[in-house]
Chain A
Amino acid sequence: MSQATHIRNFSIIAHIDHGKSTLADRVLELTHTVADRDMVEQVLDSMDIERERGITIKAQAVRVLYSADDGQTYQLNLIDTPGHVDFTYEVSRSLQACEGVLLVVDAAQGVEAQTVANAMMAMNAGLEIIPVINKIDLPAAEPERVRQEIEEGLAIPADNAVLTSGKTGEGVREALEAVIARVSAPQGDPDAPLKALIFDSYFDTYRGVVALVRVIDGRVSKGMKVRIMATNTVTDVEEVGVRRPANLPVDTLDFGEVGYLITGLKDPALVKVGDTVTLAKHGATEPLPGYREVKPMVFTGLFPIDGDQYPDLRDALDRLQLNDPALIYEPESSHALGFGFRAGFLGLLHMEVVKERLEREFDLDLLATAPSVEYHVFTTSGEEVIVHSPQDMPKAGAIERVEEPYLRATVLVPPDYVGAVMELSESRRATFKDMQYLSATTVEMHYDMPLSELIMDFFDQLKSRTRGYASLDYEYIGYRTSKLVKLDILLAGKIVDALSFIVHRDKAYQRGRVLTEKLREIIPRQMFEVPIQAAIGGKVLARETVRAKRKDVLAKCYGGDITRKRKLLEKQKKGKKRMKNVGNVEVPQDAFMAILKVDE
């Protein structure tokens, strides 16, 4: 066991793709934590999706032992955090487990929106921030410019920023030396009752919920009886240990240490991120500050293409939820799509990741409807109705007003693209708040905008209109009243509930027109004519027609063609299986996402 004076708890924070996970790999190598033969890229990103996309979804903690230049051995606990805005709360909890951070900035890209957001979070948590300018091996690297951006834009002194290359390993030792010199050793009261912060958890099929914890005060040992405070759950500690990165049991975790804790609890809902673990008897009276319930912000309908897969989808969601308590879902039925689930997510990335995991890890063919947000509908009879799905919207006559979630968006962009950002934002009901120059090359702009507009492909549009230069971050600022209506889409005269969406009244006509045009392109010609209509209540706003298919025949079919043409027919059948029969119209998956592409 190390003395607290020889412990350093730190995190690496960065904008996506600035090299956080690769830098973590180099730390593991340098400290011989992972044997060379077991070294894979992005060791701490254990999910396939994390490695493929180069993102971190789950927080991870790893303990490394580092022989420092002063001849002493230090226990370093590196906490790898998710980098995406969807997981802001998780990041904030991870930071509470640390005393300092390495703020990694790409030497070519410079400061971006999540750099700012993460740095602010670290500052608010009172952490020591060590700027690290990474990827200095790149030909386009401009460490001096980036150093200036950090100083001017973030007001963080950067004259002693560490220059590193995750690729070559250059500067990694210097970064660790900086951690030892500048990050303070954990402070805490060894004699106070146990207080441990849960900063993440995962589910192990054999052991139940495994909580990743930082001991703030006191100590925790195997066999103790503990209480998890917010959920008021009393349980025995079956095992404590440290992550190297595989689990290594130890007798005790002392104040200042980071490790894991297994209680045998099987229900992840009882072991929530941000909660405090204390002693069951004579425990702490006050939990650690900052705990809150995580609320899903984005909702979508998930339907199996093959209705027989409904039970499989339910089982798969149950399984995923064990490792991802932020995922919520309830059964939903649609006239058009049959039985499925309405699922809630922290954000769009979270939604995409869950859908991809359901399809890949559980071999399901899913159809997802366009994402929606949580609306608060106040009816004329004085009730408040929570609406997660356009289908559940009360009739127009019964609605007094509707509130929708708003957020404060921060966009960082080179000055040349300020106009493009303004144009896009205006078309998305965003209210301009202010802007400032972070440096000669970077402008920071703030907008208040509805979340429902942000999830409509806003980020992709922002990227394409600024040639990829803009970066985006946002935080929720609460609910505001908006003039919202439900727009229905009718195919062959029948409302397709899964295509309905909620839209601002002033935009309804334009969105309806563009969407019917899009659908006309997406829906293949059938054997009969298919009218497509957009309507509010009974009033039709726009109409397009998919004309009947007149010709579809392989005209030439002789000896040498037969096998090839037959394979074509088999492919055609598979293509049809990927479509959903709505009434008797074959509708491809893309149709349900078409509403997101109305700006193209």
Chain B
Amino acid sequence: MTASLYVHVPFCVVKCAYCDFHSTPISQEPGVADHFAWAVGEGVVHWAALGALDDVASIYVGGGTPTTLGPALVSLVEALSRSVRLAPYAEVTVETNPDTTDAALVAHLVDAGVNRFSLGVQSFDDVVLRTLGRCHTAASAQRAIEELVSAGAKVAVDLICGVPGQSLDSWRDSVERAVASGVGHVSVYPLSLEEGTPLAESVASGALAAPNEDVAAEMMELASARLAAAGLRRYEIASYARDGDESKHNIGYWTGRPYVGIGPSAASMLPADVFEAAIACEAWSDPGVTGVGRTLESVPAGTGRIRFVRSADTIAFLRKPVGPPEEVEYLTPAEAAAEDAMLGLRLADGIPDALATSAGSAEVLAGLESRRLVEHVDGRWRVTHSGWLLGNEVFEAVWNAGARRGLVWHSL
């Protein structure tokens, strides 16, 4: 089985104002970073023993901010390399932020096998960075890019548009500077207000203007045009790359490749047989976790794919790196196909006819075509320019056409 491996490092120096991902400020307590690296190693050994990591196409160490672990991150990556069988040309990415990107650490990570860094730049405008609650400046982002590029790794940067107070000029400047930095991969995200974040609260209280969808759309179009002119093709809704610099790991998510997630709140997606083998493990029938033995005795008949999520509790993960998930979702082969079709349509190249048929979405795609949201070219369905910006119309139609029964959910 070819799979991807995702490691979630839940630590950040400071949580950003817009972020609702699972993270906690890095503990000053000595040994936490090493303890975390050990715990990830335990998880990797568990899944390797079950054969899930025999052919790993990509590794992504994300978060949080993995580089807050410092030298322990190097041992973590070394442990991964020891336990998994990497495919030839496998992509090994580490996510980082300007303020935690240290030249020596980067060099050690490259030595340990990291060949790609994803840097959270978000903007080259210090005012916008402050609104977002980022604790770095445009200058430190510039310096971090230079360090990463000179270390010989591929570099991807993230940019956010549609931020309250962000002008079109500010945005254009950020895109230009990303292009000028010479990175091969740029992700462009319109700001989305997540419930409960400080940014959402500022907007709700009126302290900040609400993001304007029209302005965000204009900014996405501006970025698309400018990046294309610089040779970075939009290969997915938010992802731009030079040829060959596309993220293999992320493409895995959009093409149905199984993945193993390790760390608090990490999601995994595996075929039924691998999941069943995991259930049988001693570590999964934890009497301390109520109901597990009963609920996870077997996989429902007709299940094609299983997605499950570990608890977001970092302390629990550190105490017990291997254990049963908190939530499990069973998908039939038809639902798995509908999901693959929905996710595949995020890609600029879209999905082949065969997938559209097995996902039961041929009919709705024809309907979407008449609304000019998708087009049919060379035996593939793909989104049009308006389908790109109105993707939810497409995803909703495709997913709901394929998902005919209620999903079976287990909350443990």
Contacts and interface: CB of A to CB of B under 8 A. Distances in A.
Interface of A: 527, 547, 549-560, 562-563, 566, 569-570, 572-573
A564 to B, nearest CB: 10
B307 A562 contact: yes
B267 A559 contact: yes
Nearest to B399: A569
B253 A554 contact: no
B12 to A, nearest CB: 16
B247 to A, nearest CB: 10
Interface string B211-234: 001101100100000000000000
B171 to A, nearest CB: 14
A570 to B, nearest CB: 7
B214 A551 contact: yes
A573 B396 contact: yes
Interface string B260-272: 0100011111000
Interface string B169-192: 000000000000000000011101
A555 B261 contact: no
B390 A554 contact: no
A566 B190 contact: no
Scoring A527, A555, A560 by chain B CB atoms within 10 A of each residue's CB, the highest score goes to A555
13 contacts: A549-B390, A550-B390, A551-B214, A551-B216, A552-B390, A553-B390, A555-B188, A559-B6, A559-B261, A560-B8, A566-B342, A569-B392, A570-B403
Contact of B269 (A550, A555, A559, A570): A559
Contacts of B265: 560
Contacts of A562: 253, 267, 307, 339, 343
A556 B192 contact: yes
A558 B399 contact: no
Given A550-B213, A557-B254, A562-B339, 7 more contacts: A549-B390, A556-B238, A557-B237, A557-B346, A562-B343, A569-B392, A572-B396
Nearest to A558: B253
A560 B346 contact: no
Scoring A527, A553, A557, A573 by chain B CB atoms within 10 A of each residue's CB, the highest score goes to A553
A550 B307 contact: no
B390 A527 contact: yes
Nearest to A547: B214
B253 A569 contact: no
Contacts of B254: 557
A551 B386 CA distance: 8
Interface string B371-390: 10000000000000010111
B259 interface: yes
Nearest to B259: A559
Contacts of B111: none
B329 interface: yes
B393 A554 contact: no
B395 A554 contact: yes
Given A527-B393, A549-B390, A562-B339, A555 B237 contact: yes
Nearest to B8: A560
B346 to A, nearest CB: 6
Given A550-B213, A560-B266, A527 B371 contact: yes
Contacts of B395: 554, 569
* Chain A contact residues, majority secondary structure: loop
A219 B85 CA distance: 98
A520 to B, nearest CB: 15
Interface residues of B, number: 43
A566 B393 CA distance: 12
A557 B192 CA distance: 12
A317 B226 CA distance: 62
A572 B237 CA distance: 20
A558 B237 CA distance: 12
Interface string B330-344: 000000000100110
A555 B343 contact: no
Given A553-B391, A556-B238, A562-B307, A569 B267 contact: no
A557 B253 contact: yes
Contact of B391 (A547, A554, A563, A573): A554
Interface of B: 6, 8, 188-190, 192, 213-214, 216-217, 220, 237-238, 250, 253-254, 259, 261, 265-269, 307, 309, 329, 339, 342-343, 346, 371, 386, 388-393, 395-396, 399-400, 403
A177 B254 CA distance: 80
Given A527-B390, A549-B390, A573-B396, A555 B217 contact: no
A569 B396 contact: yes
Contacts of B386: 527
A548 to B, nearest CB: 10
Contacts of A550: 213-214, 217, 389-390
A563 B400 contact: no
Contacts of A555: 188-190, 192, 237-238
Contacts of B346: 557
Nearest to B373: A527
Nearest to B189: A555
A551 B220 CA distance: 10
A558 B254 CA distance: 8
B392 A552 contact: yes
A552 B342 contact: no
A569 to B, nearest CB: 4
Nearest to B267: A560
Nearest to A528: B371
B334 to A, nearest CB: 14
Contacts of A558: 250, 253
A551 B217 contact: yes
Contacts of B393: 527, 552
A552 B395 CA distance: 11
Contacts of B400: 569-570, 573
Nearest to A571: B396
Contact of A553 (B237, B253, B259, B339): B237
Contacts of B309: 560, 563
Contacts of B216: 551
Scoring A552, A560, A570, A572 by chain B CB atoms within 10 A of each residue's CB, the highest score goes to A560
A473 B395 CA distance: 53
B192 A559 contact: no
Contact of B392 (A547, A554, A556, A560): A554
B296 to A, nearest CB: 18
Scoring A556, A557, A558, A559 by chain B CB atoms within 10 A of each residue's CB, the highest score goes to A559
B261 A560 contact: yes
A527 B189 CA distance: 21
A367 B216 CA distance: 35
A552 B346 CA distance: 13
A552 to B, nearest CB: 5
A572 B392 CA distance: 9
Contacts of A554: 192, 391-392, 395
Nearest to A565: B395
A256 to B, nearest CB: 61
B261 A551 contact: no
Given A562-B307, A569-B392, A557 B213 contact: no
A557 B343 contact: yes
Contact of A551 (B250, B390, B403): B390
Closest 10 CB pairs of A and B: A553-B391, A551-B217, A550-B217, A560-B267, A569-B396, A555-B238, A552-B392, A551-B389, A555-B189, A551-B213
Contacts of B399: 566, 569-570
A346 to B, nearest CB: 42
A391 to B, nearest CB: 31
B60 to A, nearest CB: 9
Contacts of A551: 190, 213-214, 216-217, 220, 389-390
A555 B250 CA distance: 13
A303 B138 CA distance: 58
Nearest to A525: B213
B313 to A, nearest CB: 15
Nearest to B389: A551
Contacts of B342: 566
A563 B307 contact: yes
Nearest to A551: B217
